[in-house]
Structure 1
């Protein structure tokens, strides 16, 4: 079985322990009912060992958990989604970190993202994604580039699923000014952003250069939230060759607070839409008020 990141093991283990406590059982009693050694339950609950989806199902049966949505979510954390998701077909071109990112994104109910360099993947046009991939990974062949663009496009299905992922994106003005792929590609991308900003489950706000220095300039990040269990939230920070998963509650609170502060510096939803449309039409003279009335 493919290993899942430690952050997901810890999240899964903590929730299984919570369910055991709600059932009024000791780890020893749970282990006896499952026919396991007590150390197996302990290793799963502390995140030291991975749990197979069937192990999770066994424990949830013992604890009397019948909620299908919760069971499916915990099975996904155990690796079910990683094994069976559509992205598994692209495992020859996707590194494990990217596959796990997609797995988290697919299972999340909300994503809050701060981007200071490029358009978020969920909002990229195929032409923009292709140009960006070629620039960032110039050594890739045409087949690999095509596969990565297909993955980027397929990921966007979460915005139309039932229920759709709720996306709140804060975009530094540099994202809109950076000419990726040439004037035609960038113009189409800006128009696509303006269309996305009108969708009910997507909220876009622009952090204009006029806002000055802010915490977002230190790096982009994504906060994923999951249905039913707030403690499963996780922050993902991308680096050149890997991704950092942050799940400590104090860190989650810090990133959530940072996102809220950035919202206060950003343009309102309506002003952000006007700003994006203005750049897309070549009207660079538009300057927003800088408030966040729509936030």
Structure 2
């Protein structure tokens, strides 16, 4: 059966990793119900291949399909039913980031969708300030440096997206963010001393929010597993098995959802956090480096 326009839009705004997790959860519930995929399909009035496509995340899922399968599996828990509908892309309005689809790669839209639906994020950053904590000036300077081929309107749009993402820290309930930052993040001069001074002041203010925990890995900590690259672990409400790891690359992001990989990244993050400075000492270091940038002379017009 061909996909309708609505189905294609739903499939586009639901990251593949979430479709796979939805399928895995539906398969688990089918197993608990003691049914084969053929028996489930027969009771739903479908062909067995449809159940297979849903369980492997290869097919978009309508709200009615999710409800029907949950009825077949005798799942009555309202929280579970609501969560699975949300994973399928229903229960919420179309994401605001869809309006920026002309400048946002699919991988970035998937990342924002995961970030928006998560209840907790654990972030390891080795090079730059996490997007959720960037100031507009820092975000603008970084975007220009990383993508010098973009025009002003595209740069402005990407900065707008970066700032709009930060609303998750102030929604009800807010996203809980635990970030481990390599000291290089604080000392890498993006946009000049004035921009960095403002960015570090903003970081210090963010560190005071109850939903934000910042830890700095000082250079004195030596080599650590985090130097191999940045990553984020997203956790979602009510079902702990839905954690997703996102790895950043130059032109895209890679989502990792194998249980053993997630366990390994979670353990690595815990080790990094333990090696990092406590929150209070991290805040003091951030403030101290920010003061260093504040005392640096501003560039003269001739230098500009």
Structure 1 stretch displaced more, 167-176 or 65-74: 65-74
Structure 1 residue 82 displacement after superposition: 9.4
> For the residues of structure 2 that align with 1:84 and 1:75, how far apart are their CA atoms?
14
- Partner residue of 1:105? 115
Correspondence 1:259 to 2:269: yes
Structure 1 residue 185 displacement after superposition: 1.1
Judge conservation of contact 2:193–2:293 (CA < 8 Å) in 1. Answer: no
Judge conservation of contact 1:108–1:165 (CA < 8 Å) in 2. Answer: yes
Change (3 A) 1:220 1:105: same
Judge conservation of contact 2:196–2:293 (CA < 8 Å) in 1. Answer: no
RMSD after superposition:
2.1
- Partner residue of 1:15? 25
Change (3 A) 1:131 1:72: farther
> For the residues of structure 2 that align with 1:88 and 1:69, how far apart are their CA atoms?
27
Which SS does the other structure have where 1:198 is aligned?
Answer: coil
> For the residues of structure 1 that align with 2:75 and 2:160, how far apart are their CA atoms?
38
Change (3 A) 1:208 1:81: farther
Judge conservation of contact 1:131–1:181 (CA < 8 Å) in 2. Answer: yes
- Partner residue of 2:104? 94
Judge conservation of contact 1:206–1:272 (CA < 8 Å) in 2. Answer: yes
Q: Structure 1 length normalisation: TM-score?
A: 0.89
1:228-284 Cα deviation digits (max 9, x unpaired): 111111100011111111111111111111101111210011100101011111299
- Partner residue of 2:87? 77
Question: With CA pairs under 8 Å and 6+ residues apart, which has the higher RCO, 1 or 2?
Answer: 2
Change (3 A) 1:68 1:182: farther
Judge conservation of contact 1:82–1:103 (CA < 8 Å) in 2. Answer: no
- Partner residue of 1:32? 42
Judge conservation of contact 2:124–2:230 (CA < 8 Å) in 1. Answer: yes
Judge conservation of contact 1:176–1:190 (CA < 8 Å) in 2. Answer: yes
1:166-220 Cα deviation digits (max 9, x unpaired): 1000000000001111111111110010011111110000000010110111100
Count of aligned positions: 284
Which SS does the other structure have where 2:247 is aligned?
Answer: strand
> For the residues of structure 2 that align with 1:177 and 1:76, how far apart are their CA atoms?
40
Judge conservation of contact 2:127–2:185 (CA < 8 Å) in 1. Answer: yes
Judge conservation of contact 2:181–2:215 (CA < 8 Å) in 1. Answer: yes
**1:85-234 alignment runs, 5 A limit:** 85-234=95-244
1:99-136 Cα deviation digits (max 9, x unpaired): 00000001111100000000000001111111111111
Structure 1 residue 61 displacement after superposition: 3.9
